[in-house]
Amino acid sequence: MNKERSAGSSLPADRHSYIRQQLQLHGRVQAGELAATLGVSEDSIRRDLRELAASGVCQRVYGGAIALTPNQPSFRARKQEHQPRKARLAAAAVRQLQPGQFVFLDGGTTNLEIARALPEHLPLTVATNSIPIAAELFGKKQLELLLIGGGVNHQSGDALGAIATRMLQSMRPDICFLGTCSVDGELGIGTLQADEAAFKRQLVEQCGKTILAVTNEKLDTASPFLVAPLRDIGLLIIEPDADPARLAHLQASGVPVRAAD
């Protein structure tokens, strides 16, 4: 017990050091437990976790944070996670489309489900920087498919970097479906890698409307690299059972929110 209390400190630098240690030991931390151990408010801990996430130490998740590791799950592994839930989000997403639109599908496993859900009768021009999404769309005769090139991220299968960004700058899509790692009411849309964030920022700038379809786990969380503030998002599509407590901060930003059926 005395050992736990000895960790307490009102100095942010000391708290950050302790939190880093706990992340290394356990892989994740809970805000409530840290507040009790360190003798500070949960608001102080949440602020600490935001700062540590911004410096790339961890990723904020609901109730705490998880350590970032060099070996994030592969695209193949992630696309199996919560697949029925992502398909439900995708069904809501494709209802936002009109015939003849120019649509950009950013990389990501939920956006892969959107690609699968595109109706056969709906003619569209679809651009993507994702090899898995392009493979899914290849052969759909109602689509004109455009593939962004460049250096490919081996974990995600996404083309990123200067070449991909230059190609993107020549496009003006009506709608883009943005992939993301986190959505936070204050910090906005985030991702884990700097090159991903740079490409996504350019994508938001190029598109007429940006739509984000996210599973519950990404709500009220933060990542090291900012993509865009929530005010730049035209529509946030969420799961029907999303926690109201998580949604409160997001709705305060003014972003339009719609629950999937």
CB atoms within 10 A of CB 200: 27
Going by their DSSP bridges, the two strands 143-147 and 124-128 should be labelled as parallel
Range of the domain at 18: 12-67
Give residues with Cβ within 8 angstroms of 55, minimum separation 6: 224
Do residues 39 and 109 share a domain?
A: no
Residue 3 lies in a domain: no
Mean pLDDT, residues 85-92 taken together: 97
Whole-model pTM: value is 0.77
Do residues 211 and 125 share a domain?
A: yes
Contact, 149 vs 170, CB < 8 A? no
Mean per-residue pLDDT of the chain? 89
Burial of residue 86, with CB atoms counted within 10 A of its CB: 0-12 exposed, 13-18 middle, 19 or more buried: buried
Do residues 86 and 213 share a domain?
A: yes
Per-residue CA distances from 228 to 7, 178, 197, 202, 220 (Å): 36, 11, 9, 10, 15
Residue 1 lies in a domain: no
Per-residue CA distances from 108 to 30, 65, 77, 134, 214 (Å): 27, 22, 12, 12, 10
Mean pLDDT, residues 127-145 taken together: 96
Residue 131 lies in a domain: yes
Total number of domains in the chain = 2
Summarize pLDDT for 6-52 with one digit per residue, the tens. 455 578 899 999 999 888 777 789 999 999 999 999 999 999 998 89
Higher pLDDT, 2 or 195: 195
